[in-house]
Chain A
Amino acid sequence: MSQNLGRIQRKEMLLAYALLLPSLVFLAAFTYWPIVRSIWFSLNDVLLGDPDIFWLGAENYLRLLNDRLFWKVLGNTAFYTFTSVPLSIAAALLLAVALDSKLRGMAFYRSAFFYPVMIPSVAAGMVWVFLYAPGYGPINEALTGLGLPRLDWLYDSKWALPAIVIMSIWKYSGYFMLILLAALKLVPSDLYEAARLDGVSAFDRLVHITIPMISPTLYFVIIIGTLHSYQIFDYVYVMTQGGPADSTNVLTFYIYQNGFQYQDIGYASALANALLIFVLGLIGLVSLTLGRRVHYLGER
């Protein structure tokens, strides 16, 4: 009997591995192997297309620590992540709360805020290059109309990165808004009724009821937003090529420059590992600070 059971279990086990095999082959080849390899590459002198590899040890990493451009690029990456993610999520939260209040024309608003997600990053980047154009761009025309000074936007090393942040808010808020909207629908409305009867202000209701109630989703959105912030490569490539004066050069783009333009795979791999550490550190930080404070209410 138990022998029979063992055979069934073994059959189930073999079937399970067979079902996982197709995924595992591709995951191994294009997710895990590249990580292992990039650690190996970073310890060597590797040139693109050159079969000769020379052991360097930690040299690429020492070079990285002394590379002033690396620190600047890391700063830019951090600036982009720490502004674009919180700002687009804050905008998304306000939009979601507004739309959740039984506003008429919901379908129109939802689509109006969500459609940028459907637009390819290259197209989005291109349109915003036009919108930001210093001489004839509509944004500067609007600023003049409002009596404000015109800016050089993507041509100004102070404003180029913030300009990309503004574009990101337009591009991603709608997506986060939809996810938050789904969570808001699950908040019991009698909570709000009770708070309203007690004379709690709209702002306090947001801070003390809405945000705690949807905190698991908010947490999820922060993680998704952080992962999405990689996509800044597309915008930098299309809009600025890292300029002016490397003010929009970010880690993904710097890896590309070193690996593809200078063909220095070893150093680029060290940079790629730095990026992975940066992102993992960020996600670790988020889950340690916010993840612990997330309230899981009710069974879903």
Chain B
Amino acid sequence: MALDTPLSPEMTAAPPVARRSNWRRALKGQWLHVIMLPLSLLWLCPLIWIAVTSLKTSAEVFDPAAGFFPATPKFSNYPSTLSVAPFGKYLVNSIIVTSSILAGQLVTITLAAYAFARLNFPGKNLLFTLFLLQVMFPIYAIFLTNFVTLREMGLVNTIPAMIVPFVASGYGTFMLRQSFRQVPSELSDAARLDGCNHLEILWHVYLPLVKPTLLAFAIISVVTHWNDYMWPLLVTNSEAIRTLPIGLGLLAKADSGADWPRLMAGTTIVVSPLLILFVIFQRRFIDSFMHTGVK
């Protein structure tokens, strides 16, 4: 960072001794690269292995003497993976499920967060606590009875079954309420004087101002539900409605660990959409996850 800043006139005019200490300061702390560089490569290893293995032959995987890279990259692993598992179909299902959850959440959290941030009504604190409780009871803790409920509703093995448990979000409501509260009340007072009602104020004044929060929540929600495994696994059992992670799990089961190149080609297909988006919109992703902790 220090090296990135252009030299200011004072610095260039400084005596040699001071300049050397500038250099020292710039280099100071950089010794950490000695630790961080190998560590970051270690972190990248699984990803590298996915990619490299997806281009090998089975024989090369099982032969320790075959070396790290495949002799000739076997790109045909990809078509052969796509021929055993309909990843295109899975992709469409993943998109439908993830975007429906997000759309539902954006409606419910916007309305609820506005009520909690700007309206007065009896039972406000109690209701807010109830919303927050949901954060502590994720689907992993209550999946069993939810499954029974959905079964009774006849929704098991349908697309809505993968969506409905996640439409309300205590976490999203909390996040958005914090942002709404930071909107200066003069703005809504002015709109009120202009004859706007609450819903108009919410739409025209509040929502445009909290776009960064909505985007941050959207990114976190999409990453979470795109990658979801347990719940879609429990409520689906037909090919037509499976999502990408479930499809990958099935491929693994069918292969029972024997056909690593094909499995890793499938893994590459499944992890690619989000990783590509992440590389393109890196700053947005990082900012969204970074500020989940700072209220």
Which residues of A are in contact with B by a Cβ distance under 8 Å? 9, 12-13, 15-17, 19-20, 22-27, 29-35, 37-38, 41, 48-49, 95, 98-99, 101-124, 126-131, 135-136, 138, 141, 170, 174-175, 178-183, 186, 217, 220-221, 224, 227, 230-231, 233-234, 237-238, 252, 255-256, 259-260, 265, 268-269, 272, 275-276, 279-280, 283, 300
A300 to B124, CA, bound (A): 24
Whether, in the assembled complex, B223 has its beta carbon less than 8 Å from a beta carbon of chain A, the answer is: yes
A234 to B49, CA, bound (A): 21
- Identify the closest chain B residue to A283 (Cβ): B136
Answer whether A31 and B291 are a contact pair too, CB < 8 Å, given A16-B115, A26-B164. Answer: no
B44 contacts across to A, CB distance below 8 A = 112, 115
- Let me know if B286 and A255 touch, CB within 8 A: no
- Let me know if A115 and B141 touch, CB within 8 A: no
* Number of A-B residue pairs having CB atoms within 8 Å of each other in the complex: 273
Answer whether A121 and B137 are a contact pair too, CB < 8 Å, given A113-B43, A141-B64. Answer: no
Q: Which of B30, B115, B293 has the most CB of A within 10 A?
A: B293
- Let me know if B35 and A136 touch, CB within 8 A: no
Answer whether A113 and B40 are a contact pair too, CB < 8 Å, given A130-B260, A238-B252. Answer: yes
Interface size on B, residues (CB 8 A): 99
A256 to B119, CA, bound (A): 42
Shortest 8 CB-CB contacts between residues of A and residues of B: A179-B293, A230-B140, A34-B145, A26-B168, A112-B40, A120-B227, A16-B121, A19-B115
- Let me know if B40 and A127 touch, CB within 8 A: no
- Let me know if B260 and A237 touch, CB within 8 A: no
Q: How many Å from the CB of B121 to the closest CB on chain A? A: 4
- Let me know if B36 and A98 touch, CB within 8 A: yes
- Let me know if B46 and A279 touch, CB within 8 A: no
A116 to B274, CA, bound (A): 11
B226 contacts across to A, CB distance below 8 A = 120
- Let me know if B264 and A234 touch, CB within 8 A: no
**Which of A120, A175, A259 has a CB less than 8 Å from the CB of B144?**
A259
- Let me know if B245 and A122 touch, CB within 8 A: yes
Q: Which of B109, B138, B229, B271 has the most CB of A within 10 A?
A: B229
A95 contacts across to B, CB distance below 8 A = 39
B96-147 with Cβ < 8 A to chain A: 107-109, 111-112, 114-115, 119-122, 124, 127, 130-131, 133-138, 140-147
- Let me know if A255 and B112 touch, CB within 8 A: no
- Let me know if A15 and B119 touch, CB within 8 A: yes
- Let me know if B252 and A272 touch, CB within 8 A: no
- Let me know if B119 and A109 touch, CB within 8 A: no
B147 contacts across to A, CB distance below 8 A = 259-260
Whether, in the assembled complex, B84 has its beta carbon less than 8 Å from a beta carbon of chain A, the answer is: no
Q: Is the interface of B mostly helix, strand, loop or mixed?
A: helix
- Identify the closest chain B residue to A48 (Cβ): B148
Whether, in the assembled complex, B29 has its beta carbon less than 8 Å from a beta carbon of chain A, the answer is: yes
Q: Which of A115, A170, A175 has the most CB of B within 10 A?
A: A115
Q: How many Å from the CB of B68 to the closest CB on chain A? A: 9
A112 to B119, CA, bound (A): 44
A16 contacts across to B, CB distance below 8 A = 115, 119-121, 124
A272 to B229, CA, bound (A): 19
- Let me know if B49 and A130 touch, CB within 8 A: yes
Answer whether A117 and B149 are a contact pair too, CB < 8 Å, given A27-B131, A103-B36, A122-B245. Answer: no
26 A–B contacts, CB within 8 A, in A order? A20-B112, A27-B130, A31-B168, A33-B149, A34-B146, A104-B1, A109-B40, A110-B286, A115-B278, A118-B285, A120-B270, A122-B229, A122-B245, A126-B252, A138-B49, A141-B64, A179-B289, A179-B293, A182-B294, A186-B294, A227-B135, A230-B141, A237-B230, A256-B234, A265-B144, A272-B141
B224-280 with Cβ < 8 A to chain A: 226-227, 229-230, 233-234, 244-246, 248-249, 252, 257, 260, 263-264, 267, 270-271, 274-275, 278-279
**Which of B36, B133, B233 has a CB less than 8 Å from the CB of A31?**
B133
A135 to B258, CA, bound (A): 13
- Let me know if B111 and A19 touch, CB within 8 A: yes
B289 contacts across to A, CB distance below 8 A = 114, 117, 175, 178-179
1/0 per residue, CB under 8 A from A, across B36-57: the answer is 1001110111110110010000
Q: How many Å from the CB of A171 to the closest CB on chain B? A: 9
- Let me know if B230 and A41 touch, CB within 8 A: no
B36 contacts across to A, CB distance below 8 A = 98-99, 103, 109
A48 to B148, CA, bound (A): 8
B295 contacts across to A, CB distance below 8 A = 300
A35 to B130, CA, bound (A): 13
Answer whether A118 and B274 are a contact pair too, CB < 8 Å, given A30-B164, A126-B263. Answer: yes
A217 to B146, CA, bound (A): 32
- Let me know if A117 and B290 touch, CB within 8 A: no
B167 contacts across to A, CB distance below 8 A = 22, 26
A30 to B122, CA, bound (A): 24
A106 contacts across to B, CB distance below 8 A = 1
